[in-house]
Structure 1
């Protein structure tokens, strides 16, 4: 969950000198946690940024330290809904030392962090960073796969029901895909900057992994763009189909009203309380009935030939 900032967040003292290397992870850190982790008081603003769920992807170098934020896809608050959001991961890269910061645990990263905690010795910081980028790309691929499956399921449902609930579900999917597009643009730009870091270029295996992750992020962005376009096109198509069905229904009702209008008119005319021609004869009823049925049948055949009914 989002963590509010303590009132004494500016009361941090200078942090002790961090260890030469290693990995550490902080989840929703408080100022005391930040200090115990060996982070400088001046860098507390970075932790505050990560606590903001709307924080965008970016990279900034400050001397020997590199501050990075990346946006990971997460399911919305309603587990049954097809809505997705983004949550930031903060990374502080300082030589062979790397620190990751989260406002709350993220499902795509939890297995990786659990594995890291059980290692006897931490890998190189650039290797950890490359692995995180690979997980980032894979998490978007998995999320896009689920959203694409949701689009197909919703399409089949709309074919049967065309209910407002299904339209709202498709709208939520389209909004999630649009958010993915925006987040992926920021992640791609940040990943490209990461690949240009001297620390990365000096480590060929890590550089190759990051280049691969960058390519996968670009592919994910293209897929998100295509899926978003597909969702929008489906909404437009079904909205047009619903409007067409409404127009067709109104046309059928109008045609049926015209068919039954003629016998109703004749029955009304010969039902008024006044003197009418041939009202004393026995055959006038059959003449009026036959005339009404004939005209109505003729109109029905004409409208049927035109495909209106």
Structure 2
């Protein structure tokens, strides 16, 4: 979908039909016709559009022929089976003297905030501020996603303490995958911001310095939070792995002890089942004596194992 926006003199965002100087062109999962329109009317490079629509594209910044091209990794959530996975999608940004172009494969909450007027001091013609505001909102949504991930982890931890099932382990793996996606994306975005600070790509204005500092703080906080949650999740998994191993050892020990207890009377019964002359075979109380002997050995062995806490 291709949509064109432009801020009026009051700062309100208006949707327009034609490309104008200072407008914002936003593409979400564009059709071939929409891409062809940009190529023919604005001379947009097809490679830029294809890169922006490539899910594997990483964050980077370049400058070609007076055009600044950025790729920012934006957080999204999606379903993988019955599990919710937090991942990222590349957002392509092209800044020129006449327009501001954004291209994304999916609709994101970051760009919805701009369309719905949730971003203060937003003007389509203030391109440097627009880029910084996108980076700030992106970092903010990373933090929000991390909070939801951590809350989900806490709920899973409580469930795992009561009953450890495969479904809960799969949910933990989904969280682990989300944290890996976030960690990689944040590192790439951080490198992009560092290159942006050099001032060789976009002109930095004094009014945007505070916003730039906010972007750096939000980015560092998101990276640190991801590291902390990854460490916590790793410790939780190691702890439950030790519990599972300990429980398994206890059950194996219990089964081994029960096998020994049952085997001892079976040995006596097997011995007296042989068709040869045996001690006490002519004794009138032979059967009772053998039963008492077997019971004594069984009870004695069971008490010994109980004392040693094998049972």
Task: State the TM-score bracket (shorter-chain normalisation).
Answer: 0.7 to 0.9
- Could you tell me which of 53, 56, 62 is aligned with 2:55? 53
1:39 maps to 42
Query: CA 1:254 to 1:79, structure 2 compared with 1: closer, same or farther past 3 Å?
Result: closer
Higher share of residues assigned strand: 2
SS in 2 for 1:83: strand
Q: TM-score, normalised by structure 2?
A: 0.83
1:23 maps to 24
- 8 A Cα contact 2:24 2:124, kept in partner: yes
The CA distance in 2 between the partners of 1:120 and 1:184, in whole Å, is 24
Listed as ranges, the matches of 1:1-309 within 5 Å are: 19-29=20-30, 30-35=34-39, 39-41=42-44, 43-78=45-80, 80-95=82-97, 97-115=99-117, 122=124, 124-197=126-199, 202-309=204-311
Listed one character per residue, the Cα deviations across residues 99-122 of structure 1 (whole Å, up to 9, x for unaligned) are 2121221133213223289x9964
Structure 1 residue runs of 5 or longer lacking an equivalent are 2-17
The offset of 1:253, in angstroms, is 0.7
- 8 A Cα contact 1:73 1:85, kept in partner: yes
The CA distance in 2 between the partners of 1:292 and 1:108, in whole Å, is 77
- 8 A Cα contact 1:251 1:308, kept in partner: yes
Moved over 4 A (4+): 198-201
- 8 A Cα contact 1:57 1:68, kept in partner: yes
Q: TM-score, normalised by structure 1?
A: 0.83
Listed one character per residue, the Cα deviations across residues 197-229 of structure 1 (whole Å, up to 9, x for unaligned) are 267664223222122122211211121122223
The CA distance in 2 between the partners of 1:246 and 1:46, in whole Å, is 55
The CA distance in 1 between the partners of 2:86 and 2:143, in whole Å, is 13
The offset of 1:86, in angstroms, is 1.1
More divergent stretch after superposition (229-238 vs 216-225)? 229-238
The CA distance in 2 between the partners of 1:266 and 1:260, in whole Å, is 11
More divergent stretch after superposition (270-279 vs 133-142)? 270-279
